[in-house]
Amino acid sequence: MNYRHAFHAGNHADVLKHLVLLALCDALVAKPAACFALDTHAGKGLYSLDAEAAKLTGEAAGGATRLAGTGDPSIARYLAAVAACRAEHGPRAYPGSPWLLAHALRDVDRIACCELHPNEAALLKEAFRHDPRVAVQERDGYTAMKALLPPRIGDTRFARGLVLIDPPYEAQLEEFDTALGALRDALARWPQGTYALWYPIKLRRTLQPFYRRAKDLPAKSALVVELLVRPDDSPLRMNGSGLLILNAPWKLDEVLQPAVRALRHALGEKGPGEARLEWLRSPA
């Protein structure tokens, strides 16, 4: 486990992932019933773009630092969340997914965050020690999906909620196998949950087997949202990223389509990048 998200915080992939995460949270809280969120690969929750790691790669310069308002409401929502994080933690802070979940969800909602790396898990626990809604567990996120789904805390069973799976892909293609297997199992346990799996894009054509297998998962719908900031002509670089969203909330595609189109222009490295939003399986 060599991956540390501090080197990549606020890059173009974080922008896409965190913008989609906020849209999913906002759809959940639009209804009054309490919901549950599981962040299987949580990281340490909060980053500084002034940290040595972030300065070494400078990746945020092609992502969060570069992005300005475009008039799109989802982008405005994302920028407002980053601004709220900075108001609390300083002008160079960048929010991780646990921080965004805690920001976007309500007092009635509950959040479980798993992180396997002991140092990152300790920092995550520290970051949320005063938030009774957030349970931090130092454990494997895939095993946690088996243990925690369907979500139930005390007498409360949660009918609605979200699972974010954001692995580091150190295992490369094997990570897709593991994640797809975990999703299949989780859908059997908690069929009505919304699931979002983040994935890196190097050469998009190599993802065809993943799309085929994702389409076959027993979900009501499967949507992919992707952003390439440069042509996918290099197998060595992360040229873009995507999210597979299973059981997407109603009209999520209509919310995200203009946002990814605007991101393509805002974050394309040399001229506009490419954006794709496609139903692998449309909602019935």
Ligand X SMILES: C[S@@+](CC[C@H](N)C(=O)[O-])C[C@H]1O[C@@H](n2cnc3c(N)ncnc32)[C@H](O)[C@@H]1O
Q: How far is the CB of 71 from ligand X (least distance, A)?
A: 25
Q: Which stretch binds ligand X (CB under 6 A): 53-61, 136-144, 231-239, 270-278?
A: 136-144
Q: Does 182 bind ligand X (CB under 6 A)?
A: no
Q: Which of 11, 48, 74, 97 binds ligand X (CB under 6 A)?
A: 97
Site for ligand X in 148-177 (CB under 6 A): 166-168
Secondary structure E strands in the chain: 35-39, 46-48, 93-95, 110-114, 134-137, 152-153, 156-157, 160-165, 194-201, 222-228, 240-246, 274-281
Q: How far is the CB of 154 from ligand X (least distance, A)?
A: 25
CB 247 within 8 A of CB 219: yes
The structure tokens listed for 202 are 């190097």
What is the sign, positive or negative, of the torsion defined by CA atoms of 6, 10, 11, 12? positive
Q: Does 1 bind ligand X (CB under 6 A)?
A: yes
Active site residue 109: no
Q: Does 96 bind ligand X (CB under 6 A)?
A: yes
Q: Which of 59, 115, 226, 232 binds ligand X (CB under 6 A)?
A: 115
* Distance, C-alpha 170 to centroid of its chain: 17
Q: State how beta strands 194-201 and 160-165 pair.
A: parallel
The structure tokens listed for 157 are 């069973």
Q: Which of 10, 43, 62, 161 binds ligand X (CB under 6 A)?
A: 43
Phi and psi torsions of 3, nearest 5°? -65, 130
Which residues sit opposite 198 in a β-bridge?
243
Q: Does 3 bind ligand X (CB under 6 A)?
A: yes
Q: Does 6 bind ligand X (CB under 6 A)?
A: no
Cis peptide bond upstream of 258, omega within 30: no
From the candidates 39, 166, 232, 253, give the one annotated as an active-site residue.
166
Q: State how beta strands 222-228 and 160-165 pair.
A: unpaired
Q: Which of 12, 110, 117, 160 binds ligand X (CB under 6 A)?
A: 117
Q: Which stretch binds ligand X (CB under 6 A): 40-48, 102-110, 238-246, 258-266?
A: 40-48
Q: Which residues bind ligand X (CB under 6 A)?
A: 1, 3, 5, 17, 41-43, 96-97, 114-117, 120, 140-142, 166-168
User: Which are the catalytic amino acids?
Assistant: 166
